[in-house]
Amino acid sequence: MGLLEKFFGSKVKYPPLPAGNDALVKLDEVKAPLEELAHKVSDHLEVVPAEHEAFVFLGKPPESFGIAWIHDGKVSSLKDMAKEHHLSAVQVGELIVQLGQAYQHASDSPRYSAEFGGKQMVVIPSKGLGQEVHQIMANTLH
């Protein structure tokens, strides 16, 4: 994260996600729920495409953010996941810390812009970040 972005928010303009990019194929697989999320959320969105799923950081990661998990054709919010898996406030807090650290691990990954559901999003096509977030979620929710 650059100094200006740190002080003024993420108003940084990223190049468009190139056509034919593997991330675009993965995002196409979750397009309907991603567009649904885009319509519901007014926050800044950063999407991490992964195998048959996507993770969406909402807000201002890594400091102040939420997460949505798009899988099995649906969107699960952090609140939904906490309720469904009976996570305590401490466990949710630990999950957020781990996800923030994963986000920071990918700080040097290229970022692109793409529009879904009429909303501009940042796309982070980092295989490593996708795998790390998936592992964090799997370890916390199972």
Confidence of residue 9 (pLDDT cuts 50, 70, 90): low
- Structural domain of 68: 14-141
* pLDDT tens-digit readout, 30-84: 999 999 999 999 999 999 999 999 999 999 999 899 999 999 999 999 999 999 9
Q: pLDDT > 70: what percent of the chain?
A: 92
**126 falls within a domain:** yes
**6 falls within a domain:** no
8 Å CB contact between 65 and 75: no
- The mean per-residue pLDDT over the stretch 94-110 comes to 96
**3 falls within a domain:** no
**124 falls within a domain:** yes
**85 falls within a domain:** yes
Counted domains in the chain: 1
**7 falls within a domain:** no
The yes-or-no verdict on residue 4 having pLDDT over 60 is no
**114 falls within a domain:** yes
Tokens of 18: 């190139």
Reported for 29-33, long-range contacts at CB under 8 A and 24+ positions apart, including other chains, are: 30/54, 30/70, 30/71, 31/116, 32/73, 33/70, 33/73, 33/74, 33/75
- Predicted pLDDT of residue 141: 81
**29 falls within a domain:** yes
pTM for this model (two decimals): 0.89
